[in-house]
C-alpha cells in the first residue's frame, strides 16, 4: 500500500521559494562587487529573480558596511559577492498561498528561512 501523498499548496509554494533562493544565491555568488557597484548589482539580482514564475517581490539589501569593512583590510577595490554581504526577502504567490522568505547571516552562515505562510 502506497503512503505517497500529494504536496499541499503551501508546500509547493515553499518549494518555489527555495528554487528562487537557490537561483539567486548560486547565480550571483562570486560576482565582483564594490561599494559603488552594490546598488546596481542588488537591482539586477531583484529583477532577475522577479522574472521567475510565482515570484511577486524580491528585495536585496547589500550590507555595504560589511563590504566596506572587508575592503578596508585589502589592497583591492572590490571583492566577490558572498552571502555575508546580503539580506534578501523573497515573496512568492502560488495559487492561493503567499510565502515570505528571508536570507540573512546567522552564526557566520547565510541561512534562508520561511518567515510566513498565508493561505487566501
pLDDT of 77-101, one tens digit each?
999 999 999 999 999 999 999 999 9
pLDDT of 26-46, one tens digit each?
999 999 999 999 999 999 999
Provide the pLDDT confidence category of residue 66 given band limits of 50, 70 and 90.
very high
pTM of the model: 0.91
What are the residue boundaries of the structural domains of the chain, listed by start?
9-119
pLDDT at residue 1 greater than cutoff 80: no
CATH code, 9-119: 3.30.1300.20
pLDDT at residue 108 greater than cutoff 90: no
Contact of 61 with 42, CB cutoff 8 Å? yes
C-alpha cell at 14: 515553499
pLDDT at residue 22 greater than cutoff 90: yes
Cα 95 to its chain centre, rounded Å, is: 21
Provide the pLDDT confidence category of residue 119 given band limits of 50, 70 and 90.
very high
What is the chain's mean pLDDT, rounded? 95
Q: First-to-last CA distance in the chain? A: 34
Amino acid at each position: 500500500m502506497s503512503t505517497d501523498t500529494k504536496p499541499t499548496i503551501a508546500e509547493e509554494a515553499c518549494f518555489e521559494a527555495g528554487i528562487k533562493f537557490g537561483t539567486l544565491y548560486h547565480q550571483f555568488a562570486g560576482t565582483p562587487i564594490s561599494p559603488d557597484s552594490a546598488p546596481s548589482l542588488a537591482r539586477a539580482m531583484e529583477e532577475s529573480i522577479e522574472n521567475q514564475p510565482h515570484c511577486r517581490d524580491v528585495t536585496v539589501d547589500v550590507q555595504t558596511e560589511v563590504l566596506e569593512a572587508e575592503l578596508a583590510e585589502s589592497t583591492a577595490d572590490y571583492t566577490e559577492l558572498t552571502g555575508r554581504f546580503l539580506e534578501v526577502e523573497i515573496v512568492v504567490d502560488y495559487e492561493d498561498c503567499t510565502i515570505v522568505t528571508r536570507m540573512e547571516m546567522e552564526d557566520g552562515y547565510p541561512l534562508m528561512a520561511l518567515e510566513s505562510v498565508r493561505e487566501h
